[in-house]
Amino acid sequence: MAHSDTKMGHGASTVALALLCALGLGACSSVGSRKLAPPAETFALTQAAVDRGEYRLQIGDRLNIKFPYQPRSNQELPVRPDGRISLDVTGEIVAEGMTPHELEQTIKEKASQRLRDPEVVVIVTSVGDRRAYVGGEVGRPGFVTIQDGMTPLQAVLAAGGFKDTAKKDSVLYIARGATGIYQASRVDLEDVVENGVPETVRLTGNDVVFVPATRIANLNTFVDQYIRKVLPVESRAGATAPLLP
């Protein structure tokens, strides 16, 4: 299990880094030079252009797909991590983001090549966990399960909290809108922690919270983390002074 978790962690990191690169945010040093949208604007994208009265399928949802007049074609299966399902009579279909009714129509159209006048019913038998990726300078980078109303700070805490090297005032919040397009914003979680400023966004499935590293702002902390805990040097000024820039 540990090996599997390690592979998942590496895979999650690769996905997150690819997403950051696609946004032009792959290097922490370049983040400060790019003007990002306000967090509330990015959060609004996840709420816009979607009829919240109709449920849209997500990764991990389990579906019971019935063919009333061809019951041998019935299948029960989950929406895979790539957002697809695979049926014997249709092959692969991208189900993520569709309503059950839209998926019914798509299956009906594709299945008609092999079945005569198929009728299709899609039933969502269980809803999969909503997950967000939390990466960068946190204790346990990886996916966290989103609880209702979860904020970026709560997600960071669920991922082990900030490392001492975290740049808490410049955390990246990356969300995918209803159209599938990602947008990034910078959120000041230091202001939230230090001053109790309310957070303006709530996480939804597939969001990314990326905590960049600070430059060496505190040399004493840097020496404690990367020198004293690694090299056999004493805490005397004379021993550490030659190691400082």
Name the pTM for this structure.
Answer: 0.53
Percent of the chain with pLDDT over 90: 37
pLDDT at 69: 94
pLDDT at 47: 58
pLDDT at 193: 92
Do 149 and 29 belong together in one domain?
yes
Average pLDDT over residues 113-118: 93
**Residue bearing the bigger pLDDT, 90 or 174:** 90
Which of residues 105, 126, 147 is at a domain's end?
Answer: 126
pLDDT over threshold 50, residue 26: no
**Residue bearing the bigger pLDDT, 63 or 176:** 63
pLDDT at 88: 95
Do 118 and 141 belong together in one domain?
no
Do 17 and 45 belong together in one domain?
yes
**Residue bearing the bigger pLDDT, 184 or 88:** 88
Instruction: Provide the domain count of the chain.
Output: 2
113 within a domain of the structure (yes/no): yes
230 within a domain of the structure (yes/no): no
Do 45 and 71 belong together in one domain?
no
242 within a domain of the structure (yes/no): no
Output phi, psi for 153, to 5 deg.
Answer: -65, -40
Do 141 and 118 belong together in one domain?
no
Do 40 and 91 belong together in one domain?
no
Average pLDDT over residues 37-51: 63
Do 117 and 165 belong together in one domain?
no
Do 92 and 80 belong together in one domain?
yes
CATH number of the domain residue 84 falls in: 3.30.1950.10
pLDDT at 62: 93
101 within a domain of the structure (yes/no): yes
CATH number of the domain residue 205 falls in: 3.10.560.10
Residue-number span of the structural domain to which 120 is assigned: 62-126
Q: Which tens digit of pLDDT belongs to each residue from 117-153?
A: 999 999 999 888 788 899 889 999 999 998 888 999 9
Which of residues 107, 126, 145 is at a domain's end?
Answer: 126
Computed over every residue of the chain, the mean pLDDT equals 76
pLDDT over threshold 60, residue 3: no
Do 196 and 137 belong together in one domain?
yes
pLDDT over threshold 50, residue 80: yes
Q: Which tens digit of pLDDT belongs to each residue from 194-217?
A: 998 899 889 987 788 999 886 544
Do 37 and 73 belong together in one domain?
no
